[in-house]
C-alpha cells in the first residue's frame, strides 16, 4: 500500500517538475522564469523525495530523504532571491508586458 502512495507522490512530482521546466522555456524574462521554475521544481522534487521516504520507511535512505526536503525548502528560495537581486543590479530589465517597477525607482 505504501508503495502505491509513493508512486502517486512521484508521479505528482514529475508533473510539477515538467511544468516548471516548461515555464523556464516559455516565459519571457528572467524574473518570471525564476519564479515559475523555483516554485514548481522545489515542490516537485520535495514530492519525489517524500515518495522515496514512503518506499524506504524509517531506514537510512528514508531519513536522508526527509532531511533533503527540509534542506531544499530552506535553500531554494534563498538562491532565487540572490539571483533575482543580482540580475536587477546587473541591469537586466523587465519584459515589455510589465506594469510597474518600484525597485528601479528606489535605486535612483
Q: What is the DSSP letter of 59?
A: S
The torsion of the CA quartet 40, 44, 46, 52, rounded to 10 degrees, works out to: -170
Smallest separation (angstroms) from other proteins to the CB of 74: 7
Smallest separation (angstroms) from other proteins to the CB of 53: 9
CB 89 within 8 A of CB 103: no
DSSP string for 26-58: HSSSHHHHHHHHHHHHHHHHHHHHHHHHHHH-S
Smallest separation (angstroms) from other proteins to the CB of 10: 7
Q: Which is nearer to other proteins, 28 or 108 (CB)?
A: 28
Amino acid at each position: 500500500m505504501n508503495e502505491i502512495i509513493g508512486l502517486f507522490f512521484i508521479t505528482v512530482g514529475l508533473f510539477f517538475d515538467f511544468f516548471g521546466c516548461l515555464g523556464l522555456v516559455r516565459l519571457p524574462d528572467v524574473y518570471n522564469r525564476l519564479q515559475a521554475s523555483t516554485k514548481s521544481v522545489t515542490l516537485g522534487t520535495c514530492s519525489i523525495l517524500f515518495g522515496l521516504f514512503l518506499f524506504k520507511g524509517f531506514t537510512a535512505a528514508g531519513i536522508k530523504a526527509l532531511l533533503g526536503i527540509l534542506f531544499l525548502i530552506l535553500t531554494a528560495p534563498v538562491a532565487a532571491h540572490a539571483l533575482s537581486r543580482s540580475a536587477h543590479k546587473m541591469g537586466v530589465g523587465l519584459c515589455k508586458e510589465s506594469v510597474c517597477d518600484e525597485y528601479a525607482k528606489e535605486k535612483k
